[in-house]
Each structure stands twice: as structure tokens, then as C-alpha cells.
Structure 1
């Protein structure tokens, strides 16, 4: 746990929601009682009519205090001590502008780095022989000032791989000259002249002595530059090279191994965080082979060219006959045999129409054997296509794959990345040594040296919370695991009118039902006999998913006029296209609870238990509860009415700026319980991380995500409104902490005031971060692995009006990792956040948002759509359930 101080005077109380009262008191110090004659949830939104501008919520910083609970142990980390001997150094920041002729598009980072490398080689004396750190875009940093404030340099870059010739480009080839230029050598060198402007910035001086965020950013830029010089693929602060190893994930995708390196401030001073990393790249080699792998086929005649166009868009290739590099912008409409273009005949002889096939036979004496009947790659411009035969093109290595992985690919990635903790630490130590940061000129000039030994830190092992099941029995939870083999759920549900639908899954349905019912009764679930088993007609397998779902519901209606309360849905495979439309039909249109599963070949008791955990939670039951929850022993939470929020935003695949993001807020119910939740979900602008629909006033009503959560809490908690609100926020980085406080928290306060303008609950805001690279390893063989091969969650406390001590907050977080109803293991992040992630992902599949623009043009990712489609609302019968389990 860390307290995030943020900005402002730490001695002052944060600005209250109302902005009045004694500044030494908490803004919610009245306990939220308000006017006793007025129901806190009854004014229908009238309190919101007089609202003014949102108050800014400053973070509360409490005196430093260390937690003490738990068994103390020593652990190793993947942080390496950094020694500084010249903290008097000052970085100077300059803006860099690179221009090439009339090119209006931004130059690629690789090109920019080549230009800047050449600039230093050419103008070292003009730069006073000062080495610099360049960020690949428009930032340049030196130690000490350059001998000028502003200067412009002409940089000539010789290029043998671009295909530029200086003559008119043949639209049918690869920038190749016409027949009159046949004597030109294939390996000719072509020069490009860039103009590079270097200008000092207004905030040019960055002192090393402060080791502030800006200074650390410069040091990280130096690390990136060091990796770029070694020919690595750079992804933020991680670097990758083919020699580091790879994992074949199938479908033309490879998991490329690499390393993350970044400087981090710690309580023990500056450290280098060094970790293993993996990024997805497309399989290099012949383009035709990639397409066969990508579509999982063996015959090139079966290639789906619509899918091929999307898969190849913006990838870079090298031609085998001229070794020239290009970027793919599309495919030709016709095959090499048929695709024609105008070719110059010679000086003053006009042009002639030729096919791509004939051009390569005539100009290059190449007979196209494997792609003559296939489309060509287009590597030209929209108004001036340039066609290349597929068999002459190879995909370059280290090109990122930015789409979502399938379930099978993810499992291969996890399996291929598995490594014993000590082996992982040895790999890191060896790679750090081989990376040889000691030779980096700017690090040497800064007086920076990096230890080869991992840092040791003290940790504490908290005692696992106790879980209770039926009849007051306690579950034994060694190593965060337990089972229900001999126990019943603490609050089993009833399954009355239900049926089974089978979308062509191969299994013995009757046997599955028998086993499921037998296991359900052992867990205490009262389950009636199955009302109907509906098999999909064989003629429907090839129809669209939505039509298959529609046909299935017609069969359900034909069998009975009574709508089932629950449907077990059997699917033929994971990630089946039917899943989204089926969930939408059940949850949004009909209000029917449903559980989807892919029946295994061998049905075991643990599998049935896992299915029943989800079914029981969805239908309103509880599988287990914390003993402290039942005994009202959770500090500050059990004694004062408290609602817990989990908030997350799910985005489309990386690189897809046309796919709406989905925001979800889950909230606890039935206080003083903290094991049961509901969810509110909505779409918002693509790639927007801040949730902008928490409070949304439309006329006299609030249609935001928070209002229904508060109303359901009020009803489920016997008329108690929450006096305390704990918010767990996932998915935001340090640069977005102010948005969480000043936008999201402010909107939640507005939603509370809208329901009762005298209601001022206390807030605690905690950000959970898993997108980091800190790992812990056992210090000796006698200690069990803490989490050297998993990603521990880092919790940052942004704001705490409730007043938790570090021990109390850590115990709460630990406990919330044991109330996840879907499994019999503790999870690595608090359950409310996990639920928010599940809810957003599941509802997004209602309309398959990630595929909404698949048929649009290849340039659709350049701009976001003007309108964000709204998700269908959940049916009232399921809206306040744990449908996402």
C-alpha cells in the first residue's frame, strides 16, 4: 500500500462537497444523517437542480505509518540498486522537428533515430561533441547546454532499402525503373535529405539532484536509446529481439521474448526495475505462408482475401528480388495475370498497358509460379498504386501483432511463459549483465552504476481469512485454496423451471444433466427435474449466430408458454460466436439467467463444482462468506454502513480506435456483507479511460451508473444509505490519478447529492495497478515462492476520509481477495475489480463491439466514430444480479 500525496498543501483538509463548515473537519463528519424527516433516496433527483460547478477533490495525505501485522520474511526483488556519484549534473531539454520534403505524415521512430544518429556523425563539432538522449519523436536531452539555442541542420541519409529511385515509379512493380533504365544497378544507393531543427524549450533545465519524475523520464529515454542502437523492437520501456527466444501461438502469431527496464524511485533510493516481458509479433517470412498460418489452412486457394487484407494492413515487407522495403496498404482487385497498369515505353514513346505477370517476365525474367492467380500487394499511394506479387514478398521480423488473442493462443502464451522463480531470476541477472548498461555514455557521464545483485526487502505474510459455509462449518484455506467436496454452499439457491439448449456440442446431454443435478444436491441447491432438452437442428450450424439464437428461442416458445427462469447452454467450442447473441437474448430481451459451458470429454466432480459456483451466485445465492463478515468483525466496514465499488473500463483490441470502450461499476449489496455485488455497464468513447457516465443528468433524472447502485444498496440493506464509500479503481496510471479524483470522484459525489442534497458520505479511493513489472522471489529454498512468476497487484491510496490504518486497509484488501464467488482460490486482485472486468467484457459481447468495423475500410482506425452505440439495457429480472459470474 502506498499513500498518494498528489498536489496541494498536505496540512489542509480536502475541499468538501458542499464547500462549507469547519475546515478542520471531514466533509462527511455528520455521518450522512441529513434531515431525519426526509428519505435519503426519495426525492427523485430534485436535489440536483441547484448544483454548481464540481468542487475539486484534493487528496488526503496522512502521517506516514507502517503496517505491522503478519509473519516477517526477506524476499528478493527484480530491482537492482542504482548508485549516483554525480548528482550535480543538469539535463537540458530541446525540441526536435524532423522534416522530409513535403511529407505531411509523421516519420517512423526507426527513421527518426537513423536521422539523429547520422546528425551526430556529421555535426559532432557543431554539437560541441555532446552525446544526447533522443526519445524517437521530438525530445532531445543533453548533459549541460548545447552551444546554441536554435539551429537547423541538413542531414543526408543514404538508403538502400526504400525502393526510392529518383525516377518515376512504375505502378506495376516495386518502384522499379522502366526498360530504358535496365543498366541501373539493383543495389544503388539513394540519398534523402532531412531538415532537423533543434530548439531549447522554456523548461529546459532538469536537475539530477532532485531525482524527480522528469529526471527519471530522461534516464528511461537513455535506456530506450541504448536498446534501439542494438536493433531491438521498442514497446514503451520494454525491448525485444528475435535472439531472446519466442513462443509460437498459432495463426501466424509469435510471442517474442524480451525485457523491461526502467528506473524507479523506492524507499531505498533509485533502482533499476528489470523484468521479463513478452510482446506479440506477426510471423516473419513469405507472405503466402503467413496467410496460411493466419487462417489455419493449407491450400492457398482457400484464402479469405477479406481477412487477408485486414491481417496484412500496414505490415512491412521486403522484396526478394531487390531487397527493397515497403508498407502494405491493400490488395489489388485482380490477380497478377489480370491486373494491368500503365508502363512507360521509353523517351517520348508514351505508355502501354501491361499485366503485373508480364512485367515481371519482361523486366526481371521472373516467372510467377505460386502467385500468378492471386491478388497482388499494393504498397503505393491511394491515387497511385504499386503492385507486388505475393511470392516475391517476405514479412519483416519484429512487427507487432495488435489484435486480441484467442483463448487457445492465450493458453499457449501462459504455458510457454511458465518458468520457475529462481530460473527467472537467473535469466534476469544474465540478461542485465549482457545488456551492458555500463558502456552507455550518458549513464557514465551521469555517474550512474547499476548493481548486478537483486535488492532484498522485508515482506510480511498475512494470515489467511477464515471462510464459512453451511451449518457454520469453516473451510480450510491452505495456500489460498479450498474445496467444497464435503461441504454445502452457505446460501444455496433454488432452480425450478429450467432447461438445456444444445448448440451442436458433442456430448451425452442426459448424462451431463444427471451428474450436474447430483452434484447440485450435495452442495445444497434445490434443483427440479430438467423441463426440456432442446437440440439445435443440423441445418442451422452454418447460419449466422444471431439467426441460430433466434431459432433456438422459437423452439423454446413452441415447447412451453412458460418462460424458463434458467437455461443451461451447451456450446461447441470456447469463444464461440453464439456466446454474445445468446447472452444478449437471455439477459437483455427475456430476463433469463443462463450458464454457458463447453462440455469436457471427461466430466469430473471439480468441473461440476466450478459450474455450480457460477450458477448459484447468478441466481442469488452465496457459496461462502468470510467469518469476519458474518461476525461483523471487519474494522470500520462492519460497524458503519459501507458500500464498495469496483470500477474498470474495457477497451477494444490494441490499435483499434474505432471500437467503443465499455465502462463497468460493480457495487456491494446487503451490508454488512461484502460478498455480494451487482453491476452497471455502459459504452463510452473509444480508448477513453476516465468513466464519463457515473453521473448523467437528463432532465429531472440521473441516468448515470452510480444511481442504481446506491438505490439497490439502500433496498438490500434495509433502508440504510451508505455513510462510507470505498472505491477500487482499476486500469489507470499515475498520470490519470487527478482524473480519478477530480472527475470520477466528483461525479460520484454529484450522484449522491442528486438523491439527497444533505447526504455527504466519507470516501476512500484506491487504485489497483497490475501493469507493472515488480516481482518478488524467495530469498532461500526454505521459503515458499511469494509470487515470482505472477503479477502482484500494487494498491495506491489516493484519498482516505474514512481513516483506515495501513493494517486495516491491508486486511480489507486481503479479505476481498477471498470473496470471489466463481472459484475456490484466492485471487490476485480484489473481487469488486475482477467483477467489473467480467461485467464489461461480457456485456461488450452483446453486440460484438470489437468486430463492429471489420467490414469498414482499412483506414477506419485513423478516426473514432462520431456516435458511440449504446448497449442494450439488462432486463429488470437480472439487472441487480451477479449475471457476470
Structure 2
């Protein structure tokens, strides 16, 4: 993927151009093409053919040389991209239009590209002064000056892209920068007109008010992507949360009170506890506002000011010293300036970036402001409802977006000589792979089954390996007896016992059932409850399973239960919401039992050896690993990232165990992969020797398939340089002679598949499960493919993108594609194939569950940013915070380490 805005400029030797020279970049001599990942060995041929559309549109490559300039504002810190765009716009239109003809394109950060060389003389550099006028006080105008220095750093010959898509050129900095230049060209027009983030822009044509001071706007994503023999523009719809426009008071009230109308007096200082001020401050910090009395220069609108924080005193009680040396309250100052008193002098104020304090009643929120904060949890459903579109509707929306993008009318696209075929999405010949055969246990009416479009059912089937009899178990109820009476509880117990019997598990009556008040100490009550089961047991053994019934909104109770079971006591736990399990149908209990069986050591189903020989070859015992990293929420300072590694321990690649760690915030590479992989390998050897009775020398793997989730294309090299050596070192330490394959599984992309004919679509309108593409839109030189492995439910399915970085096993495309598809069918929690291989899906869950490794009684906060005091401690304070988190991260209980506690 080309670097995001602000990517490194290409420079000549020594970091910049020599005087009087221009630096041609790109054309490589010789025919040696290098790749970061594995070179594509061939194309897949398996499966039946299917004609589909892809949301990519072909584009030509400019013929002329593109001149690349580095943009520096020497006197300024990093400025917002929108302000930078405004500065360069004024520079080209007002300050030096004769130099910028035709106009150059700019990415809002460091890179400016021109289709002709700018007349800067022999030094190839020139400094300009741009004055932007903004209002800093009511009725006054001051001009702010910005110095901008442009320096030519490279000439890009677009021929490198022609060579690259033909497979004759390495994916080097010349190619990256050329792709960056084309992306800046196509994004220039919309970013000058609409609200935007890095690669999407948003219009007010389709909006939805979701309350809480937030609106949703429909937008369009666009990105230039290389294909095989062609360049494409990948276009998709996207969604942004926007601050609602209007008076800042109404936005604040809506955030605090939802749809219930409240009097503005709620924002009076005396009515706002400190925690509410902090909560409101987190919401409005960074919002741009216009203030009453503010005006811009002639012919231009006023420049909005950014809210930095909220005051802790009211406008009438907040005094400051004037330039003349007098003392005056904010309320009195504005009464004089506006020649009228404030309506709400008891209300708190907004402090803007310049330090000025503005009463909330004078602030208006202009439209089109992207809210770059974590989505409120109660808004998730609203966002999904707005963002979800069936494939046919999504493709139509994308094609409507082409009218908004208007490549043919863009002066920038035309001047750079790009011609975009916006009439038709790309037609691609895909293939639909044959699903694996799944095997169930003895006693099943149908011992094997072939999924149909990624789905199958458990009717008249027994688990492949049901867990042993569940004799010691209890049900602890954290719901009130009024909402969940004894009749309802007995129904749930009967449903569980019957569901277990249907799949081959013997489950006795519970040893203990009792109600507990969630307001009291939950862990103490759990221990008391578990001890009572232990004392009742004839064999004096701890409970095998604890089932907890939770009330609505019982997330905190869930965390307490998981910490007690997974970390403290090593007891399997299964939580159920009272609203879901009360009067539930047998299908609900069947889904719960899928989880319970693997938590207690059972195996639900395995792929039949005949359909996945690459996984089950007895001469090549294989371990499949999934690895992931998740990062703290936007704005959360000093919170750790969490890592996970999951791997199978059985010969059928169906039974998995997990390792998890806390590490440096936002560090993408897994720091402890050596220890984590060593632990997984040791457990694999132990299970195969002790449980599967393999000889000691034959119990270790001879093949490792390492699926890595969550890394961008720009980080592939780091995976090979930092993570692969740790995995190899773990193998060497344990004397494991295994051939390793490393595959990155990507979900954060915008490629979508659309069936050309309705008869080829499934019930949801999507392409069928198993649709794979490794031609045309794939990488020109590297081994990659797109695989949509799951049947559609809602909206448009997203295929996973597989990139093979390292392959000692020399897999053919057909072998790796069918193996990956098979692994999407062994996810224990459902009777549907999933979107990514099961070990990767598990790794994702284990990362999310990492918060359960902290004692919840210590009230850890992983979501919000630290307060100003802790933020002010700087990097040393952040190190202290990380160490605090790492020391508090409790390991799994030894009994849970060998079980699928995360299912």
C-alpha cells in the first residue's frame, strides 16, 4: 500500500538534491526484480469459475515526468492537514499563481507534486510567506503569517509503474512514491471541497442523526492500487461520525442527556459535578467553533477556533487581567464587547487554543467536522445500520460516488494525464473453492458433512470428541428473582442438560444454584459459591464449570467472572445474558454448548483428512499459529497494546491454546514472540505425546504455518526482520526442525466482490463462500490472493487478503488457498465458516480478552485518556505506566493454559 499522507519523500544522496541538479528516480537497470514477500509461483486453478465485479476502476498512468517537492513550514509545529491545505491553496491562487500554472497537488503534509518543474532557479528551492487572516477576538482581525519552503527532491518517471505492473520492476521507493503521487492527484479536488480524513472524504448528501450530538455522513474511499498489467482506483463507500452542527450548548446538552430535552441550566457550574465536566470535555475537545461577533477578512469566512478544554468556573466568576491592567470577568467582558448581557452567565466556558475563554452560548459548531474519537458503545448499532448495505445497493452507491468524484472534470486529474474508466467496475474471473468435508463423532446419523455456502447444522450429530461427564457444576444468578424466577432458571438448566445429551455430553443436575447481588463483592461471592460446590462433591474436587446468568449491561460482572475463572481459580466459566437465555429455543443452548465443550477439553468437529491432506499428513505433523496485536483506543495515553499467539496442539488442527502479553503502546511487532511460540510448541509436543500417544521423537511439528493478523503492507518487512527470527529461535532452542510459512491475513482493505448475475449470489446477495481471486487485481509480482470464505448475512461481505511473506514449504496457490479455506471451517463457536482462519480469529479474541488479566477490583481504565496531570509527566511517565500494566498483567491459571478458555 502506498505510504499515507506524510510518507517519506525520496531524496538524493545525502538527504537532498545537489545544487543545480535534478534527480531522476525510478528506472532500474537489469532485469532483477526483488520482492518483500514470496514471488508468485503460479496462479490457482481449483474450483468452479464465477464472473464477478470488483469495486476497482482502471486508470491510465501519466506519461510525463512528475516533479516531487518537500514542503516545510520552518517556523511552525505540525499543523492540521486542513490548515496546510488552505495555506497551499492560498499560495497557488493568491500569492504566486504565475509560478503554479498548472496547479500542483498536495497531500496536506510533506509532499507536493507538479506536472512541470517549478521555476525555482538553480537551487530548486524557494521560500514563500502566506498570510491567513483569522479572528482571535470579537470584532477584531489579525493576519497570521506562515513561511513555506518548497524544495525539489526528486523527479518521478511514471514508466516505473508501467514496468512494475508488468512484473519487471521491484516494489521499491520509486514505485511507492509514484503511487503516492497518483493518490494525491485523485484526492486533491475532493479534499479542497469536502471534509476528509486520510483516504476518504464525506458529503452531506446522505446523513443520519444518531443522538448524543453525533451525526453520520456517507463518504467515499479512493485509493490507487497496482494490479497485474493495470493500475486501478479502488473506490468504496465509508462512514464518518460528525459533530452535529448548531449551537454548542445544544450539542453539549444532547451529549449529556440524549434525546431528552433539558434546560441549559444543566450546564451551570453548580449543576455539573467534576466527572461530568471531564466526560463533556473529552467529547468537545478538538471541536472547531465559530463565535458570535467573529468575522473573517473581506470575501472570506471566519476561521473557526479549536476548543481545547472547558473551564471549571462560570463566566461570571472567571476573571482575567486586561491589556490595560484591569480585572474583569468573562461575562462582563462580553457584555461590553457585544453591548448586551449574557443569557447564561452561570454557565461554564470553552477555552480555545489561543487561551481565550468563550461563553458556550456564543459558540456555534459549523457542519462537516469529523469526530476522531472512539465510537460510543451505545452507538455501534446505529453506525452498523447506516454503514451496512447489500452488495447490489453498495455497488450502486459506489457508482453514484463516481459522479461526486468526477474524475473527468477534475483539473488535477486532467493535467496529470490520468484517464479513469468510471463507466464500469472491473470484471474479474473468480473461482469458488470446494469446501472441506467435516467429521463428527461416533453415534452421528451423518458422520461427515460438506458445508453448503459456508453453513451446516448439528442436527443428529455428536461432537467429534465430547468432554467427559459434567458432574460438578453450578449456576450463579446475578439477576433479580423478579426478572429471572425459579421456573425460568429450571428451564435454562433443562435446556443445557438436553442440549448436552443431544451432542454426546453427559451433564448431571447442577450441584448448586443460587442468586447473588452484583452490588456486593463479586469475586468473594464466586469463591464462596465455588467452595460450596467443592464441599458438596463426593470426590472433593473443584467445580468443572460455573454458569453465570448476567443482567443487561453486566459487562463489569462478566470481567469479574472471567478473571476469577481464567486467572485466579482455573475454573471454566460460561456467561449467559438473562434476556437471551430466558425462554430460549434449543438452538440457543446448542450454540452455548459449542463453547462449553471446547472449554472443558472436548473437540466439536475436525476437517476430514481426505479433504485437507496438507494439514493432516502423518509424515508432516503441522502446527498452525495465529498471531495478533490490538492497540488502545484513540486518545488513550499510556495504555498498553496487547499481543496474542494461538496454536493447535492436536493432529487435526482443531484444538487450540493461547498465549497473551501486554507490551509498549501502539507497537505493532510482537516483542515476546520467542517466549510465546516456545510455550505453544512445547504444549503441542506434550499433547501429541501424552494424549495422542505419538513417540517422543515424532511428537514435534515438521511444518509451521504462521498466520499474522493486523499488519499493513508497509510493515511486512518488519515481520520478516523482527518476528520470524524469534519463531526460528524458539524452534532452534527446542530442536524443532520445521519448515515455516508466514502468511499475513489482512481485513482492513476496501476490495469487495459483487456477483454479476443474481443466480450466482447467495441469499444475502453476496458471492458464495469460497470465492477466491488471485489474478488481475492481485499484486503484480508477489504471492497473494483474496478469499471470501464465509456466507453472507448482512451487508456486503469483505474478503480476506492473504499475502505470503515466507514459504519454506513451497506451497502451490491451490494448496494454500484450500488449506486457508478449510481452516475457516474449524472455528469452534459456530456451525458456519468464518471470514479468516480459526487460529487468527482466536488470536483476535484473545487480544480483546487480555483486559480480563487485570484484577477488576483495581478499576483499570483501558478506554479513556489519562488526565492532564498524568499526560504532563511525559515519556518517563508513560514508561512508568507501561511497567505498571505489565506488572499487573496476571498470567492464565495453569489449568486454563491447555484449554480453549477464549471460546
Instruction: Give the alignment's TM-score, normalised by structure 2.
Output: 0.81
Classify 1:861/1:197 alpha carbon distance in 2 versus 1 (closer, same or farther; 3 Å). Answer: farther
Provide the secondary structure at the position in 2 that maps to 1:257: strand
Provide the secondary structure at the position in 2 that maps to 1:65: coil
Shift of 1:467: 1.6
For 1:279 and 1:398, locate their aligned partners in 2 and report how far apart those are by CA, in whole Å.
10
Provide the secondary structure at the position in 2 that maps to 1:835: helix
Match of 2:478 in 1: 503
The equivalent position to 2:205 in structure 1, one of 216, 239, 244, is 244
CA deviation vs aligned residue, 1:771-813 (integer Å, no higher than 9, x gap): 1111111112221131781111011111111111111111101
Shift of 1:460: 0.7
Match of 1:66 in 2: 43
Q: Is the CA contact (8 Å cut-off) linking 2:311 and 2:351 kept in structure 1?
A: yes
Provide the secondary structure at the position in 1 that maps to 2:215: strand
Provide the secondary structure at the position in 2 that maps to 1:155: strand
Q: Is the CA contact (8 Å cut-off) linking 1:312 and 1:328 kept in structure 2?
A: yes
Classify 1:617/1:766 alpha carbon distance in 2 versus 1 (closer, same or farther; 3 Å). Answer: same
1:394 partnered with 2:357: no
1:278 partnered with 2:254: no
Match of 1:727 in 2: 706
For 1:316 and 1:813, locate their aligned partners in 2 and report how far apart those are by CA, in whole Å.
47
Shift of 1:523: 2.0
Shift of 1:268: 4.2
Match of 2:843 in 1: 836
Match of 1:41 in 2: none
For 1:246 and 1:859, locate their aligned partners in 2 and report how far apart those are by CA, in whole Å.
36
Match of 1:466 in 2: 437
The equivalent position to 1:207 in structure 2, one of 124, 136, 158, is 158
Shift of 1:276: 0.8
For 2:893 and 2:30, locate their aligned partners in 1 and report how far apart those are by CA, in whole Å.
48
For 2:212 and 2:247, locate their aligned partners in 1 and report how far apart those are by CA, in whole Å.
14
Match of 2:166 in 1: none
Q: Is the CA contact (8 Å cut-off) linking 1:657 and 1:862 kept in structure 2?
A: no
CA deviation vs aligned residue, 1:304-337 (integer Å, no higher than 9, x gap): 2221122222222222443662222222122233
For 1:412 and 1:575, locate their aligned partners in 2 and report how far apart those are by CA, in whole Å.
21
The equivalent position to 1:359 in structure 2, one of 333, 339, 345, is 333
The equivalent position to 1:405 in structure 2, one of 375, 390, 393, is 375
The equivalent position to 1:378 in structure 2, one of 327, 346, 351, is 351
Classify 1:883/1:406 alpha carbon distance in 2 versus 1 (closer, same or farther; 3 Å). Answer: farther
Classify 1:727/1:421 alpha carbon distance in 2 versus 1 (closer, same or farther; 3 Å). Answer: same
Q: Is the CA contact (8 Å cut-off) linking 1:94 and 1:204 kept in structure 2?
A: no
Match of 1:181 in 2: none
Match of 2:390 in 1: 420
Q: Is the CA contact (8 Å cut-off) linking 1:115 and 1:155 kept in structure 2?
A: no
What is the 5 A alignment of 1:551-570?
A: 551-554=525-528, 556-557=530-531, 561=535, 563-570=542-549
744-753 vs 297-306, greater mean Cα deviation:
297-306
Shift of 1:662: 0.4
1:96 partnered with 2:71: yes
Match of 1:54 in 2: none
CA deviation vs aligned residue, 1:731-783 (integer Å, no higher than 9, x gap): 11111111111110111001111222xx4321111111111111111112221
For 1:364 and 1:58, locate their aligned partners in 2 and report how far apart those are by CA, in whole Å.
64
For 2:424 and 2:128, locate their aligned partners in 1 and report how far apart those are by CA, in whole Å.
45
Shift of 1:625: 1.7
Q: Is the CA contact (8 Å cut-off) linking 1:10 and 1:60 kept in structure 2?
A: no
Match of 2:683 in 1: 712
Q: Is the CA contact (8 Å cut-off) linking 2:65 and 2:155 kept in structure 1?
A: no
For 2:337 and 2:522, locate their aligned partners in 1 and report how far apart those are by CA, in whole Å.
54
1:107 partnered with 2:82: no
For 2:872 and 2:499, locate their aligned partners in 1 and report how far apart those are by CA, in whole Å.
50
CA deviation vs aligned residue, 1:454-496 (integer Å, no higher than 9, x gap): 1111011112222222225223522211222332222221322
Shift of 1:827: 0.6
Q: Is the CA contact (8 Å cut-off) linking 2:436 and 2:450 kept in structure 1?
A: no
1:674 partnered with 2:653: yes
For 1:286 and 1:270, locate their aligned partners in 2 and report how far apart those are by CA, in whole Å.
46
Provide the secondary structure at the position in 1 that maps to 2:879: coil
334-343 vs 715-724, greater mean Cα deviation:
334-343
Shift of 1:826: 0.8
Q: Is the CA contact (8 Å cut-off) linking 1:635 and 1:808 kept in structure 2?
A: no
The equivalent position to 1:579 in structure 2, one of 558, 565, 569, is 558
Match of 2:810 in 1: 803
Match of 1:820 in 2: 827
The equivalent position to 1:339 in structure 2, one of 301, 318, 323, is 318
Provide the secondary structure at the position in 2 that maps to 1:329: strand
Q: Is the CA contact (8 Å cut-off) linking 1:313 and 1:858 kept in structure 2?
A: no
The equivalent position to 2:577 in structure 1, one of 580, 591, 598, is 598
Q: Is the CA contact (8 Å cut-off) linking 2:615 and 2:621 kept in structure 1?
A: no
1:233 partnered with 2:195: yes
Match of 2:309 in 1: 330
CA deviation vs aligned residue, 1:263-319 (integer Å, no higher than 9, x gap): 111124111111111233333333333334334454434772221122222222222
Shift of 1:706: 1.0
Pairwise CA RMSD of aligned residues? 2.9
1:881 partnered with 2:899: yes
Q: Is the CA contact (8 Å cut-off) linking 2:640 and 2:663 kept in structure 1?
A: yes
Match of 1:287 in 2: 248
For 2:257 and 2:583, locate their aligned partners in 1 and report how far apart those are by CA, in whole Å.
27
The equivalent position to 1:269 in structure 2, one of 230, 233, 252, is 230
Instruction: Give the alignment's TM-score, normalised by structure 1.
Output: 0.82
130-139 vs 481-490, greater mean Cα deviation:
481-490
For 1:343 and 1:123, locate their aligned partners in 2 and report how far apart those are by CA, in whole Å.
36
Classify 1:675/1:844 alpha carbon distance in 2 versus 1 (closer, same or farther; 3 Å). Answer: same
Q: Is the CA contact (8 Å cut-off) linking 1:498 and 1:565 kept in structure 2?
A: yes
CA deviation vs aligned residue, 1:807-851 (integer Å, no higher than 9, x gap): 111110110010000111111111111000000101224435524
For 1:865 and 1:8, locate their aligned partners in 2 and report how far apart those are by CA, in whole Å.
48
Q: Is the CA contact (8 Å cut-off) linking 1:74 and 1:457 kept in structure 2?
A: yes
Question: What runs of 5+ residues in structure 2 fail to find an aligned partner?
Answer: 1-27, 163-174, 296-301, 536-540, 690-695, 768-791, 855-859
Shift of 1:530: 1.1
Match of 1:430 in 2: 400
1:449 partnered with 2:419: yes
Q: Is the CA contact (8 Å cut-off) linking 2:595 and 2:829 kept in structure 1?
A: yes
Provide the secondary structure at the position in 1 that maps to 2:225: strand
The equivalent position to 1:767 in structure 2, one of 737, 744, 767, is 744
Residue correspondences, number: 778
